[in-house]
Amino acid sequence: MAKLIHNTEIAAMFDQLADLLEIEGANRFRVRAYRNAAREIANLPRQAADMAAAGEDLAALPAIGDDLAGKIAEIAASGRLKLLDEVTRRTPAGLSEIVALPGIGPKRAKILHDKLGVKSIADLAARIKAGSLQGLAGFGARTVAKMLQEIEARSSTARRFKLHDAESQAEPLCAHLASLPGVERAIIAGSYRRRKETVGDIDILVTCAAKHAAEVTRSFTSYLEVERVAASGPTRSTVILRGGLQADLRVVPPASHGAALHYFTGSKDHNIAIRAMAVKDGLKVNEYGAFLGAKQIAGRREEDIYRLFGMDYIEPELRENGGEIEAAKSGRLPKLVTVADIRGDLHAHTSASDGTLTIAEMAEVARRKGYDYLAITDHSKRVSVAHGLDEKRLNAQIDEIDKLQERFGRFRILKSCEVDILSDGKLDITDDTLKRLDFVYGAVHYNFELPREKQTERIIRAMDNRHFSILAHPTGRIINRRPPYDIDMERIVAAARQRGCAIEINAHPDRLDMNDVHARMAKEAGVKIAIGTDAHSAEGLEMMRYGIDQARRGWLEAKDVINTRAWPELRKLLKRTP
Ligand code: DGT
Ligand code: CA
Ligand code: CA
């Protein structure tokens, strides 16, 4: 089964090629052509690989000529680019990693290599600590400090994969195993099933009779996407997939299915707590089953493990040993929110700022999804790179939505704006325009480095504006790329509660911000939560389920999430505390 190459992957390959060519001192027009192509591909509303497969002429795209169209087709068909492989081979080892560090770029990478002979990221970190970069042109103290911070952040997160990225490899692999003869079920367990925002590896559990195990294992280790087989035995194997994601396979007989699924779903802390409870009852629970002495008394079905201890079934998202066991014993588990509860999306961009579709196009996609409403939340003017709206353009957009609304009948286009929170806590749009909106999203997009106290005050000041409704992606983190900015979440939550503001769980798989811990904190404080996709395209609107995953990990029920309500009720909920 060939894997569809995503536009972001094609763009990344072209960007990398441009970087490496630049280090080599290649013609700058050639370098720029690859960079332009990367940007063009990254912003395409459709998958270039699909277009190539459908025989469409990619050379008709603005930044793409015949040569580049050929290269895109090559990547789409094979997942590789011969030229990139060649250039990578002749680039000094380690340099290609260094150049990919944010803020370094080809010019600085070349200096590091030529002047200091830096060979790897680890080497670079050591040189920075030893002070070898002091006085090197182009490497000010601030730049160097940032580089070190980035390297250290990476080494602690580099081995984890975003859930969304893992999914695109894990699901086809799991479906492949499920289709094999004799296989009863194939399920991805581990942190993946608990829907953690990042996974260290994926853990696949295959249930089949023992006689089929060898064939399942062989099929797993020879799967198309496998780069390397790390271990292979009769019931457990480990492979490394292309791109570095590790997949563990366990093959179990039907009689142990439930116990193994429970064990490999984890978390480890949850398992340990269950096992300790079993020991108190004189039982033993492990991945093979639940046992009284040598006799297996449960383990075929996962629910039975919980039932054995008089507990309600615990959803995987709650299995972090965060009080779920006590709640399950006393019948106090939350009834977790689901995708089906969601009535509309509260966070979406259009081509007026940095989105790809018009208001009408986005609204049409949302309506076809069965939603009752979609909020249009383009950026405000401070975010000039995203072509943010000033008062004049926002007022025109409000008028345009009022007109469009007539065409959409019962489906409602909500008038909103993702207004920038300025450094001093003022909002980027004046009140007489804000008051025309159905509600106002506030967001921080710059000055991330303010100290905790100041950053917290800045956001609370913004909430003081009586038009402020929802705080967007409250910590600004971009998973594996940008750490959260420093804020006192407890104070923010308390301030939101006092003022009747809501806080967002941003469903974008790179953000998932609030995280599970903050979402639960907000719920417990009685703060309303909005789940928005931050969609910049039709595809973006499909990311809602990741926001739901995060909400579930935060113990949220439908009643805790404001966009599970129809518009009349939502409108009331958005009213602030007077
Ligand atoms: P990850 O891969 O780091 O995102 O997190 P998990 O939870 O998927 O962890 P992983 O892949 O190391 O192991 C899968 C599951 O196996 C884990 O969630 C619980 C179970 N497990 C692993 N090691 C232990 C252990 O030492 N004791 C117990 N009770 N369970 C374990
Ligand atoms: Ca795992
Ligand atoms: Ca594992």
Q: Give 158's pLDDT tier (boundaries 50, 70, 90).
A: low
Residue-wise pLDDT tens digits, 510-530:
999 999 999 999 999 999 999
Q: Element (H or E) spanning 348, and its range? A: none
58-112 residue pLDDT tens:
998 888 999 999 999 999 888 889 999 899 888 876 787 788 777 788 888 888 8
Given pLDDT bands bounded at 50, 70 and 90, which one contains residue 498?
very high
The ligand that comes nearest to the alpha carbon of residue 268 is 1
Conformation bin of residue 61: beta by default, left when phi > 0, alpha when psi is -120 to 50: beta
Tell me, in angstroms, the distance from the centre of ligand 3 to residue 288's CA.
17
- Residues in a beta bridge with 238: 231, 248
Q: Any idea which residue has 């079905």 for tokens?
A: 301
Could you give the count of Cα atoms lying within 13 Å of 427 in the half-sphere of its Cβ? 30
Q: Residue 570: which of 414, 435, 408, 381 has the closest Cα?
A: 414
Q: How far apart are the CA of 91 and the centre of ligand 3, in A?
A: 34
pLDDT band at residue 1, thresholds of 50, 70 and 90?
Answer: very low
Task: Give the confidence band of 497 by pLDDT, cuts at 50, 70, 90.
Answer: very high
Joined together, the tokens standing for residue 265 give: 């779903």
The residues that bridge with 338 in the sheet, in sequence order, are: none
Beta strands in 73-232 (DSSP E): 161-162, 183-188, 198-199, 202-208, 226-232
Least confident of 137-141, 366-370, 487-491: 137-141
Q: Which of 195, 268, 270 to mutate to test the pocket of ligand 1 (most atoms within 8 A of CB)?
A: 268
Q: What is the pLDDT of residues 263-317, one digit of tens each?
A: 999 999 999 999 999 999 999 999 999 999 999 999 999 999 999 999 999 999 9
Instruction: Report which protein residue has its CA nearest ligand 1's atom 9.
Output: 190
Atom of ligand 1 nearest to the CA of 196: 4
- Identify whether the C-beta of residue 503 lies closer than 8 Å to the C-beta of residue 551: no
H helix runs in 465-504, sequence order: 489-499
Closest residue to atom 5 of ligand 1, CA basis: 191
In order of their start, the domains of the chain are: 7-156 (1.10.150.110), 162-329 (3.30.460.10), 339-574 (3.20.20.140)
Structural tokens at position 44 = 């395409």
In DSSP notation, 20-40 reads: HHHHHT--HHHHHHHHHHHHH
Taking the model in full, what pTM does it have?
0.78
Rounded to an integer, what distance in angstroms lies between the CA atom of residue 246 and that of residue 151? 22
Q: Whose CA is nearest to atom 1 of ligand 1?
A: 200
Arithmetic mean of pLDDT, 372-395: 95
